[in-house]
Structure 1
């Protein structure tokens, strides 16, 4: 059972849906569920608004916080769809386990999310590129500053309407000093601290004219791993290459979907370690055709150039780019405009 407390009025008529800034506007309702006395309590859907935490809540002191990113889509018949939500559910619990946070029950997750989306259905706009971004997250809410895992947590889901994500031309810098994650760490988890630690080196890269960093391995900085908040793909000739997932690299839902589609359409792929040297040499020889990132917010984000050791490289502009191909295929499945032979769509009824 879910306790539903509807907002007395809607903010919907105050929102300009033609001019949305990603992640700045939120829907009328949110889901909240507390873990205490050793178990998850009844989920509550209530009006979106501030939450009350003690200054000593452990999330502020020891960073016990994990999150997910998902989207809901509305098709031409007003039906609501999610894209591979089982993967997000499994991953948030995998992240939670790594940070000693109790796992969230599957029925709570899907039932509460479904009810939240039905209540705020009007916020999901039709049209290719329009969506509702969904942010589930868990934080340690117990008061106390002793350095140990908390005994109380708060699981929440908030939602934000989104337009087609476009960040302009993206150029990236290959990291030579900073690392996103190390062996045995929490790189595979969507832990809040992973992202907070990225901001400073990313700001340094922005000062040099880049929009993102491609992180390299912590041991040698010789192998490319992830791009900012995205998994990264390289096209050398007609071959698509990406790094394998590990305890340093996030197991991206979009990433694994691209690999499945590549196999379906007979595009040769290799999942292996990718060296900085290999990519630089391929660019110098004109064999590096494309680089692109994949992730929930952007789906596929083409990269037009990169920099390494003070040298800059520009990539060719292709009419038949893999980036464009995969983005079109994925979005047509997400919006129920194409056959879903993989069973990736999940209808919210």
Structure 2
């Protein structure tokens, strides 16, 4: 594949119609997108082109067999106007891990990074500078080849679209521990960022919303005894001064924010345990006052504090702490991401 990327500029930018001081999350789109097609057994040249609808045949296999995966990333501006990314190669590696599981051709790292850089260069003005805002980046791949036969497609699309965005969640959330539905099963695709994983979450999440909760805490598919994830995020639970998170497996996404939190927390002297944690243990800690914090962790929200949770018709409120780990860890990560602090890990990439 040629590393040259064709640039097709939009005739007239729509950036002047956007209020950068009041950005929603993920629903205002930048001027351009990156497209790369896999056909005839290889990836073709990538193109940066105006953001626009795409045309697919009704028989495209994405519609019938769900070969679709994605990633979530962000670009930031520092005080000097430099464009910054956070652990982008980890996103590329995880996208390819998802691709392997869904029999989608893996995207070369060179194509991923060169395409991303070219797109961000063209849409540089779309990267917000307001505190708490960022350019959300959505790389995704899907089966564009045609046919009703239940088999992998022969053509695929790799695309990157971007959206200047404000905060994902406003304030703390209230969650319901799930006792019936499962997000993923052993041997399944829970570890992959497959679109179908998220589609399957919507119904039980909607049921929780109808009961007055914002999200679901997922438990294991077999016994529903162990805490696994919080909505579309990894989950951390603080009991006394120990921070606990579930180990990754077939069912749990290997979150990049999760990995970053574990490393930073250890370096801050926080005791971190990566182990299975039961619902019973969490309830007991809540009743004894030892449960101090729960929070979700992911690219979109970075860290989303949980104010309380429900289980078996009972509600449990978490205490208001003067110096929560969630706030400390979020500030530490976002300061690294936005070049307000040193990056001892080499996670920050300047374009």
Output the TM-score relative to the length of structure 2. 0.98
The Cα of 1:165 is off from its aligned counterpart by 3.3
2:32 pairs with 1:29 = yes
Residue 73 (structure 1) aligns with: 76
- 2:177 is matched with 174
SS at match of 1:274: coil
Deviations 1:259-296 (A, max 9, x none): 00011111001000010000000000010000000000
- Say if 1:290 and 1:315, in contact at 8 Å, map to a contact too: yes
The alpha-carbon deviation at position 17 of structure 1 amounts to 1.3
How many aligned residue pairs are there?
A: 348
Instruction: Between 158-167 and 218-227, report the one with greater CA deviation.
Output: 158-167
Q: Which residue of 1 aligns with 2:323?
A: 320
Deviation at 1:226, TM superposition (A): 0.3
Shift of 1:143: 1.1
Q: Which residue of 2 aligns with 1:123?
A: 126
Q: CA deviation at 1:163?
A: 1.6
**Quick check: 1:133–1:162 contact (8 Å CA) kept in 2?**
yes
Q: Alpha-carbon deviations, 1:113-136, whole Å to 9, x = none?
A: 001001000001213312100000
**Which residue does the alignment assign to 1:97?**
100
Which residues of 2 match residues 20-169 of structure 1 at below 5 A? Answer: 20-169=23-172
SS at match of 1:215: strand
**Residues 297, 304 of structure 2: 8 Å contact kept:** yes
User: CA contact under 8 A between 1:98 and 1:189: conserved in structure 2?
Assistant: yes
Unaligned 5+ segments in structure 1 are none
Secondary structure of the 2:320 match is coil
Partner of 1:246: 249
Distance between the aligned counterparts of 1:253 and 1:168, measured in 2? 22
1:203 and 2:206 matched = yes
1:303-344 CA-to-partner distances (Å, cap 9, x unmatched) read 000010111000000111000000000000000000000000
Displacement, 1:150?
Answer: 0.5
2: distance between equivalents of 1:163 and 1:30?
A: 20
d(CA) in 1 for partners of 2:103, 2:141: 11
Matched, 1:235 2:238: yes
- Cα distance, 1:166 vs. partner? 3.0
Match of 1:273 in 2: 276
Q: Deviations over 1:148-198 (max 9, x none)?
A: 001100000000001233333301100000000000000000000000000
The answer to whether the 8 Å contact 1:129/1:165 transfers is no
Structure 2 Cα separation of the partners of residues 114 and 244 of structure 1 = 33
CA deviation vs aligned residue, 1:13-51 (integer Å, no higher than 9, x gap): 011112222111100000000000000000000000000
Partner of 2:17: 14
Once residues 16 and 144 of structure 1 are traced to their aligned partners in structure 2, the CA distance between those partners, rounded to angstroms, is: 43
CA distance in 2, matches of 1:263, 1:15: 41
| Alpha-carbon separation, structure 2, partners of 1:72 and 1:331 | 12
Aligned equivalent of 2:224? 221
Structure 1 CA distance for aligned equivalents of residues 121 and 133 of structure 2: 17
Q: 4+ residue stretches of structure 1 with deviation over 6 A?
A: none
2: CA distance, partners of 1:6 / 1:132: 19
- Give the one of 182, 189, 192 matched to 1:189: 192
Cα offset for 1:3?
Answer: 1.0
Matches of 2:128 and 2:147, distance apart in 1: 43
* 2: CA distance, partners of 1:165 / 1:135: 14
Secondary structure at the residue paired with 2:121? Answer: helix
